[in-house]
């Protein structure tokens, strides 16, 4: 569910968006993964809300400032909360790497 939500939300960017790993040839792409998941709220010992802690990574050799703003805006519009972000440079590939961390609270269906 969460992976589909992320892919569908970022689809308007028209760049590759992949879970954990990308092996294509695009010059700019996005990967994402869930680095933590936890029960956030409980009713009568049943989990009613799940917290998803997601990292979205931008990879490119170009300036990614506008793309990063678009990612934050798109995810915010569907309920993600930005936690933090960091700028990195990958020496071995020569790629600039922006790591963005988000929180998403998912309501569970109560049966």
User: Quick one: which of 100, 16, 28, 105 has its CA closest to 64?
Assistant: 28
Say how far apart CA 92 and CA 47 lie, in whole Å: 43
The answer to whether residue 84 sits within a structural domain is: yes
Structure tokens at 110: 């109560």
Residue partners of 1: CB distance under 8 A and separation at least 6:
106
Tens digit of pLDDT at every position of the chain (111 positions): 899 999 999 999 999 999 999 999 999 999 999 999 999 989 888 899 999 999 999 999 999 999 999 999 999 999 999 999 999 999 999 999 999 999 999 998 765
First vs last C-alpha separation in the chain:
18
Domain that holds residue 75: 1-8+49-111
The answer to whether residue 79 sits within a structural domain is: yes
CATH number at residue 99: 3.30.70
The answer to whether residue 68 sits within a structural domain is: yes
The answer to whether residue 39 sits within a structural domain is: no
- E strand map for 44-80: 46-60
The answer to whether residue 15 sits within a structural domain is: no
The answer to whether residue 85 sits within a structural domain is: yes
Q: How many distinct structural domains can be found in the chain?
A: 1
pLDDT of residue 45: 87
pLDDT of residue 110: 61
Site of tokens 């934050």: 72
The answer to whether residue 19 sits within a structural domain is: no
pTM (predicted TM-score): 0.92
The answer to whether residue 40 sits within a structural domain is: no
């Amino acid at each position: 569910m969460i992976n589909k939500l992320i892919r569908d939300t970022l689809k308007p960017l028209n760049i590759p968006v992949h879970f954990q790993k990308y092996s294509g040839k695009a010059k700019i792409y996005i990967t994402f993964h869930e680095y933590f998941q936890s029960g956030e709220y409980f009713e009568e010992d049943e989990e009613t809300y799940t917290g998803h802690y997601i990292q979205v990574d931008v990879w490119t050799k170009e300036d990614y400032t506008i793309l990063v703003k678009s990612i934050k805006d798109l995810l915010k519009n569907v309920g993600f909360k930005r936690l933090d972000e960091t700028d990195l440079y990958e020496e071995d590939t020569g790629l600039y790497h922006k790591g963005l961390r988000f929180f998403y609270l998912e309501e569970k269906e109560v049966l």
